[in-house]
Amino acid sequence: MPLYKEQQIKLYNSLTGKKEIFKPINEGHIGMYVCGPTVYSNVHLGNVRTFMSFDMVFRYLKHLDYKVRYVRNITDAGHLENDADAGEDKITKKARLEQIEPMEVVQRYTVDFHNVLRTFNFLPPSIEPTATGHIIEQIELISKIIDNGFAYEVNGSVYFDVHKFNETNDYGKLSKRKLDDLIHNTRTLDGQGDKKNPQDFALWKKAEPQHIMRWPSPWSDGFPGWHLECTAMSTKYLGDQFDIHGGGMDLKFPHHECEIAQNEAALGVSPVNYWMHANMLELNGQRMSKSTGNTVNPDELLSGNNAFFSKAYSPSVIRFFVAQSSYRSVLDLTDDGLLASEKGFYRLMDAVNLLDGLKASATSSIDIPAWKQKCYDAMNDDFNSPILIAHLFEAAKYINQIKEGQATLSTEDLNLLKETINSFVFDVLGLENATKSDSGTDKLSGAVDVLIRLRQDARANKDFAMSDKIRDELAEVGIQLKDGKDGTTFSVN
């Protein structure tokens, strides 16, 4: 029997503003779409945090034996500056500044995006469509919206008529914004003279003579609107209605709001049953911003070559840090936070690496099935990875108790413990196994091993004062020695 029949997920639906029991449209199958990057620059850590959250969701759904079609797009055209309907295309601008072809820009930063995600041990999506690969679908979608009376053409550009749409539908239901408030707060922007109303948004833009990226359409040589691209790609691969749509909190309005409107205007149905939004990543308590210099990219964080952090951190330590916060919470990236996560990560890995050496007993003194279900309960509660990690540390305590002879597990329970820990640590959280020596502390390990041998020699020579001195002085610097029947081991506190 598939695991999803035993485990019931409740997830927070941004559309309704509450947790709901998750029920896919087709039993055993899930369609999930996540807005991918606009590939005009290196992927930043805020993007990585969002994609990491949905990688964990994808992993857990697969772990529950769902067949998941995960679609994450690449925006390689149509995304104008400031997410508006005026200004220069972000990719075209980068190409002009560097005096290269736009598709060279796309290729460079798509490769960078994939390299970064591969470094952080992401699973690839099922499908990764590009906006430029779906121009025909976008033109067809615009034609449907025009035919249904919710769009109009002016001077070769096509705009979505938000006011007309709102007469029969609810524009703003995802972001909880009212059109009257939007009208009141809208300021006039250059380049919007063709619109009936400032709230209308572009479905197709006529290309100016200097605009490099352009395609023929019934209305003009031009390019699609940014919002339209995701509607076209999501419905092509997941159907008119699908289960989950994810993205960063900053996309809720206007991007995702416009996606809903486009789908309802063209196809007559709301596209998504469950909207999920990952929250923002801050750096030292402030918004990440290139203009203020309060930013660090993934390579700088991994290499330690930056002005914010005391050392380099491994990809798994960073994944562990991200998983210690709910995907819906603002996450503050700090050196103290990463140092604490690194310590916790290696403490967990130390326990995991003791598993194979544990010996089974005739009976169990720990209720492993109950502990296992607590792990599932955590993830079933809106993918609550911080609570899951707390339960994994509980298991680490069990492992050390068994090793020290303070607790016992039967063969069946020991195997269940191993299977469950491996599933959640590696398959669901996406961590990769490591030891303290992998973090650059192998010289420390070697030095402590020398002191352990000197202490053993002192004890053999009945020099107990020296033996105690070595133990006590190591303890003063946070290194605890543990004497057991299999020898002396140490841990760093």
Residue 290 counted as an annotated binding residue:
yes
Tallying the residues shown for the chain, one arrives at 493
d(CA 317, CA 301): 11
Q: How far apart are CA 352 and CA 370, in angstroms?
A: 19
492: enclosing H helix or E strand: strand 487-492
CA distance 173 to 187: 22
Distance, CA of 265 to CA of 278 (rounded, Å): 27
Q: Does residue 355 contact residue 338 with C-beta atoms inside 8 Å?
A: no
**What is the rounded distance in angstroms from the CA atom of residue 94 to the CA atom of residue 97?**
5
Report the C-alpha gap between 310 and 301 in whole angstroms.
10
Asked whether the CA dihedral 114, 120, 125, 131 is positive or negative, the reply is negative
Residues 432, 436, 441, 447, Cα dihedral to 10°: -150
Is 35 labeled as ligand-binding? yes
Q: Is 259 annotated as a binding residue?
A: yes
Q: What is the C-alpha to C-alpha distance for residues 180 and 197, in angstroms, rounded to an integer?
A: 12
Structure-token pair, residue 334: 């700090």
Q: Residue 75: what are its φ and ψ, rounded to 5°?
A: -90, 110
289, β-bridge pairs: 294
Helices 45-63 + 315-323 axis angle, to 10: 80
- The total of other beta-carbon atoms located within 10 Å of residue 262's CB is 28
Distance (Å) of CA 360 to CA 206, 356, 371: 72, 11, 18
Residue 98, token pair as written in the block: 């560097």
CA nearest to 139, candidates 199, 78, 72, 229: 229
Q: Is 375 labeled as ligand-binding?
A: no
Question: What does the alpha-carbon distance between residue 27 and residue 284 come to, in Å, rounded to a whole number?
Answer: 44
- Binding-site residues from annotation for Zn(2+): 35, 230, 255, 259
Binding positions for ATP = 290
Q: Cite the annotated binding site by residue number.
A: 35, 230, 255, 259, 290
